[in-house]
Amino acid sequence: MRLILSLIFSLICLSTLAETSLWKVSNGDKHIYLGGTFHMLAESDYPLPAEFEDTYQKVNWLVFETDISALESAEFQQQFQQAFLLPAGETLKTALSDTAFQQLSDYCQQNQIDLRPFMPFKPQFISLIIVVQELQKYGLTAEGVDNYFYNKAKADNKLTTQLESPNQQLHFLANMADGNEDNLIQQTLADAKELESMMDGMRKAWRDGDDKTMDILGIKPMQQDYPKIYQSLLVERNNNWMPRIETLLTHQEPKLVLVGALHLAGQDGLLAQLKNKGYRVAQVP
């Protein structure tokens, strides 16, 4: 699993859920439900697994990675574009080597993408656009589950909170791979050619709730090839979230916490950290 797919699986706020990627975390007689999310849905993924719908009915408090309503605001959309703008006098062409820019141009021409509107933006922006469009080619076009449950919770007057601000997520996206823009673009284009087979392996592991395979496919390659991004994308964010999750575990009222599936797996994942701190962690059947 390459870098950009790991980023998409873990970060963009379009999500879906696996049949068994749901854990009950207990602290004495108090508990939360921790669900792993996958980032874009096909129509065939609906209806959602009964385990998640059943758990939703048991709670009146849902916790998301970030504030979904803020992500949809016009103000945030403007901030999003501003964060990806290059400094004055620079363009996408000047931000990349001649070789990387030509490869990007060839890809865009072959896929009927007009590159001109993206010229003022960082390579990180077009990289994200390419991956999302490639995922859409394979039918991943339906509403993500974070949005699904957020809208459902609002309609049912349930409490919704978040683990981090939209600006924290935006900062990472806009600055990922700074200094390695050529590699980011070239890896994105390479991933696009292998996307379908990569997706099959990741989705199976996710649907099976197989955090060990998620570790092998999604985390270990990132640790080896992009250790700095692994630290900022997963480790730092997991560490930031842990005190908030532990605070939730002091409340009597149960909650459903939804985060990207890669945040659960691996030695630095939330599941391992919670187990190491003595909490009981059991997969929901």
The stretch 6-22 carries a mean pLDDT of 52
Stated as kind and residue range, the H or E segment containing 81 is helix 74-84
Please tell me the pTM assigned to this model: 0.85
Structure confidence at residue 39 as a pLDDT band (50, 70, 90): low
**Residues 149, 209: contact at Cβ < 8 Å?**
no
What's the token pair of residue 273? Answer: 């950290």
What's the token pair of residue 210? Answer: 């197989």
Higher pLDDT, 182 or 209: 182
Q: Is the pLDDT of residue 16 over 60?
A: no
Residue 115: Cβ-neighbour burial (10 angstroms; 0-12, 13-18, 19+) = middle
Dihedral of alpha carbons 66, 70, 73, 79, sign: negative
The proportion of the chain whose per-residue pLDDT surpasses 90, expressed as a percent, equals 51
pLDDT tens string 121-160 = 999 999 989 988 888 887 766 567 788 899 999 999 999 9
Higher pLDDT, 109 or 233: 109
CA neighbor of 209 nearest in space, from 94, 54, 59, 49: 49
What's the token pair of residue 178? Answer: 């700074």
SS3 breakdown of the chain: % helix, strand, coil, rounded to 5? 60, 15, 25
Return the domain boundaries, the chain: 3-283
CA distances from 41 to 89, 112, 141, 142, 166 (A): 39, 24, 6, 5, 21
Which residues 6+ apart lie within 8 Å of 78 measured at CB? Answer: none
Q: Is the pLDDT of residue 15 over 70?
A: no
pLDDT tens string 182-205 = 988 988 898 788 777 776 777 677
Q: Is the pLDDT of residue 221 over 70?
A: yes
The stretch 7-11 carries a mean pLDDT of 47
Structure confidence at residue 20 as a pLDDT band (50, 70, 90): low
pLDDT at 18: 45
CA distances from 245 to 41, 94, 198 (A): 26, 43, 31
